[in-house]
């Protein structure tokens, strides 16, 4: 039976140093010695054969050619058999909620894949529950057997005036959170026009973070590298994960930022940007790998940071360089080089035994000197974290939706109308601002399934107003009567429903009201797939593998409806993200994110 893992925080290096010295000198025995490994040294960029690693009190005490002097009667000895000894992997920027599961379940899913440090931004729950929601995830993170550091969400709502979230965070909230034990910095500052315009809220939050000596996360989601970009950098953000081109990565690094290259479930931005290193020759120590958003199915079936490192290697990086981007570079960026990110004396004993470096075949995972996984399976169990009732029952529709709520009335006398259409871009977060000519039937604008134009609606769910915003979207390829609704709708997290049948749209939205949130797909009046997410309408309280199985069923049902997009659910969930160009939907209306203005549906 798997042993239960509880958070055991090693003593600070300053308090543990004398014991580490004794172990390194052979005066006291180590707790663990791993022998005969190939030490992947991310400080020197070398792979050192015949290395031994000694661990004491959850920290590395000795790293060198022979740790025999540190072996005593109670020392556990592991023979690496010539395999690689790799630092535990770090995810520099991610949202746990995107995995559809809690922090606990996310950790259970990713530990076998070698992730031992995560820098999470609980921005999603903050938009629903505010500061108390952030505190819930902060406290859950503290209880984990790996390092889960929290970035305080910066933009709630993400675009004031263009959406209404379920909560609002202030400069005072950010200042308060900077004193919490597990807050590592400020989460992605998405309001980039606000920073460039010296918005007092943005300037105040960044100043509070800098005064606390912590890292300011960036999010510059624009292709404009002119004065707005320069103004944004001058405002204080220290990294950015929103680049999609090599020139984006180059511009950020030249300005002293860290370029974060993401490979999430639906965001494939590493291959294009890594050319800044492989072709333009920029210093790789200023590049960091991350996932941003990983679907539960991706975590269970494909991996986490091991997947990102593997992909980066496939794009031409040396394995050691790719590993640096997922370990030491991350630790240095968050001012944690003396704690994380390398196999070196004094650091937390987070280590992977890897049999194939390029393929990132992870045989064993250690965190704080304790083996947590072997052969892709957890060695331990992590107790479930109990979320209070206040974190549930957050979907408030105010009424039962009817098909007529999704009617779009055409201008009087029109037989055809030209409308704005949100265009989905596969494997990228931005959308295109498209236009389409649609027929009018009985005074209502009709969808055009043959040309892949179906309906999208946003249903207000925080205050029970019953408000519905209707528009059109292209890119999902639905070929039959259907609708998919989700209470995960970055960033304000109202309900988004996309469909070709108004009846199914109403059924789908009402179903989410019944179960307290999640994602559901209906076709011709029948429920085909459902993933319940009762915690803030964002996360399931079930095991990760159960959620992944339900998500797989959803993905298959979408394919049956004609959708061939890679990870289409992730694309669906970002259609209300009014801080990434070009066209989005919110409870305010249709938003042009190149001008940050509401625009009319009709052209």
**Where along the chain do its domains lie?**
87-341, 391-599
CB distance 190 to 219 below 8 Å: yes
Give the model's confidence band at 5: pLDDT under 50 very low, under 70 low, under 90 confident, else very high: low
Radius of gyration of the chain (CA): 25
Supply 76's token pair. Answer: 């556990």
pLDDT of residue 1: 46
Q: What is the mean pLDDT of residues 443-460?
A: 97
Q: What's the DSSP call for residue 11?
A: P
3-state secondary structure of 129: helix
Q: What is the mean pLDDT of residues 537-552?
A: 94
List pLDDT tens digits, range 259-278.
999 999 888 999 999 999 99
List pLDDT tens digits, range 583-595.
999 999 999 999 9
Supply 116's token pair. Answer: 């031992």
Q: What letters, b where the CB count within 10 A reaches 16 and e where it falls short, cover 150-172? A: bbbbbbbbbbeebbbbbbebebe
List pLDDT tens digits, range 209-228.
999 999 999 999 999 999 99
pLDDT of residue 323: 98
Is pLDDT above 80 for 362?
yes
pLDDT of residue 437: 98
Is pLDDT above 90 for 197?
yes
List pLDDT tens digits, range 43-62.
999 999 999 999 999 999 99
pLDDT of residue 300: 87
**Cα→Cα distances 59→21, 205, 348, 349, Å:** 11, 34, 4, 5
Is pLDDT above 70 for 317?
yes
pTM for the full model? 0.94
Average pLDDT, the chain: 96
Beta bridge partners of 91: 118
pLDDT of residue 427: 87
Q: What is the mean pLDDT of residues 164-175?
A: 97
Q: What is the mean pLDDT of residues 509-520?
A: 98
List pLDDT tens digits, range 116-153.
999 999 999 999 999 999 999 999 999 999 999 999 99
87-341 in CATH: which number? 3.20.20.140
Is pLDDT above 60 for 239?
yes
List pLDDT tens digits, range 325-350.
999 999 999 999 999 999 999 999 99
CB distance 515 to 530 below 8 Å: yes
CA–CA dist 461, 580 (Å, integer):
22
β-pair type (84-87, 76-79)? unpaired
pLDDT of residue 4: 67
pLDDT of residue 546: 95
CB distance 451 to 438 below 8 Å: no
Determine what percent of the chain is predicted with pLDDT higher than 70.
99
Which ranges of 413-543 does DSSP label H, i.e. alpha helix? 502-515
pLDDT of residue 8: 76
Q: What is the mean pLDDT of residues 313-330?
A: 98
3-state secondary structure of 53: strand
Supply 196's token pair. Answer: 């460039």
Q: From 186, 203, 211, select the one nearest 123 (Cα to Cα).
A: 186
List pLDDT tens digits, range 391-436.
999 999 999 999 999 999 999 999 999 999 999 999 888 999 999 9
Q: How many CB atoms within 10 Å of residue 525? A: 10
CA–CA dist 444, 460 (Å, integer):
22
DSSP string, 281-303: ---GGGEEEE-B---HHHHHHT-
pLDDT of residue 536: 98
Supply 423's token pair. Answer: 């265009």
User: 291: which residues sit within 8 A by CB, 6+ positions away?
Assistant: 91, 93, 94, 262, 263, 264, 304, 305, 308
Whether the ω angle into residue 582 lies within 30 degrees of 0, i.e. cis, is yes
Is pLDDT above 50 for 17?
yes
Burial-class residue 74 by CB neighbours within 10 Å (0-12, 13-18, 19+).
exposed
DSSP string, 346-405: TSB--EEEEEETTTTEEEEEEETTEEEEETTEESEE-PPP---GGGS-----SS---GGG
Q: What letters, b where the CB count within 10 A reaches 16 and e where it falls short, cover 316-354? A: ebebbbbbbbbbbbbbbbbebbebbbbbbbbbbbbbbbb
Determine what percent of the chain is predicted with pLDDT higher than 90.
95
CB distance 7 to 143 below 8 Å: yes
Which ranges of 440-536 does DSSP label H, i.e. alpha helix? 502-515
């Amino acid at each position: 039976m798997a042993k239960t893992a509880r958070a055991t925080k090693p003593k600070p290096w300053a308090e543990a140093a004398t014991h580490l010295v004794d172990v390194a000198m052979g005066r006291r025995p180590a707790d663990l010695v791993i022998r005969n490994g190939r030490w992947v040294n991310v400080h020197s960029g070398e792979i050192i054969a015949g290395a031994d690693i000694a661990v004491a009190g959850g920290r590395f005490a000795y790293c060198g050619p022979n740790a025999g002097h540190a072996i005593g009667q109670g020392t556990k000895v592991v023979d690496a058999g010539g395999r690689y000894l790799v630092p535990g992997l770090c995810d520099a920027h991610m949202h746990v909620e995107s995995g559809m599961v809690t922090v606990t379940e996310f950790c259970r899913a990713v530990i076998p894949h070698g992730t031992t440090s995560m820098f999470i931004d609980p921005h999603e729950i903050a938009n629903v529950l505010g500061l108390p929601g952030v505190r819930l995830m902060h406290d859950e993170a503290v209880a984990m057997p790996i390092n889960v550091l929290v970035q305080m969400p910066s933009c709630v709502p993400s675009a004031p005036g263009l959406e209404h979230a379920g909560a609002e965070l202030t400069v005072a909230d950010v200042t308060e959170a900077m004193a919490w034990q597990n807050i590592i910095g400020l989460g992605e500052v998405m309001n980039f026009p606000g920073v460039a315009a010296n918005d007092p809220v943005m300037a105040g939050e960044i100043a509070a973070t800098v005064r606390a000596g912590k890292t300011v996360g960036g999010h510059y989601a624009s292709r404009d590298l002119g004065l707005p970009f320069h103004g944004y950098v001058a405002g204080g953000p220290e990294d950015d994960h929103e680049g999609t081109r090599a020139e984006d990565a180059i511009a950020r690094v030249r300005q002293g930022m860290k370029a974060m290259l993401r490979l999430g479930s639906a965001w494939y931005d590493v291959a294009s940007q890594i050319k800044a290193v492989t072709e333009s020759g920029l210093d790789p120590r200023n590049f960091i790998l991350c996932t941003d958003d990983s679907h539960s199915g991706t975590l269970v079936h494909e991996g986490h940071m091991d997947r990102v490192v593997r992909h980066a290697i496939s794009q031409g990086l040396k394995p050691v360089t790719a590993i640096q981007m997922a370990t030491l570079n991350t630790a240095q960026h968050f001012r944690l080089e003396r704690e994380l990110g390398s196999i070196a004396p004094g650091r937390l004993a987070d280590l992977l035994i890897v049999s194939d470096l390029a393929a990132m075949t992870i045989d064993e995972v250690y965190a704080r000197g304790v083996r947590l996984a072997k052969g892709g399976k957890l060695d331990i169990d992590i107790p479930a974290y109990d979320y209070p009732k206040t974190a549930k029952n957050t979907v408030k529709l105010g009424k039962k939706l009817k098909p007529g709520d999704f009617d779009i009335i055409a201008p009087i006398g029109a037989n055809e109308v030209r409308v704005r259409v949100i265009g989905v871009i596969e494997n990228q977060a931005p959308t295109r601002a498209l236009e389409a000519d649609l027929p009018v039937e009985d005074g209502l604008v009709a969808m055009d399934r043959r040309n892949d134009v179906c309906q999208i609606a946003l249903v207000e769910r925080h205050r029970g107003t019953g408000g519905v915003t209707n528009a059109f979207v292209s890119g999902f390829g639905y070929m039959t009567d259907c609708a998919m609704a989700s209470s995960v709708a970055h960033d304000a997290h109202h309900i988004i429903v996309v469909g070709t049948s108004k009846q199914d749209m109403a059924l789908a939205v009402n179903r989410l009201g019944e179960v307290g949130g999640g994602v559901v797909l209906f076709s011709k009046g029948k429920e085909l797939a459902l993933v319940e997410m009762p915690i803030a309408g964002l996360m399931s309280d079930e095991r990760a593998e159960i959620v992944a199985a339900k998500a797989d069923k959803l993905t298959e049902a979408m394919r049956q409806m004609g959708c061939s997009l890679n990870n289409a659910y992730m694309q669906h969930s970002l259609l209300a993200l009014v801080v990434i160009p070009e066209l989005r939907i919110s409870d305010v209306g249709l938003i042009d994110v190149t001008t940050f203005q509401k625009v009319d549906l009709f052209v």
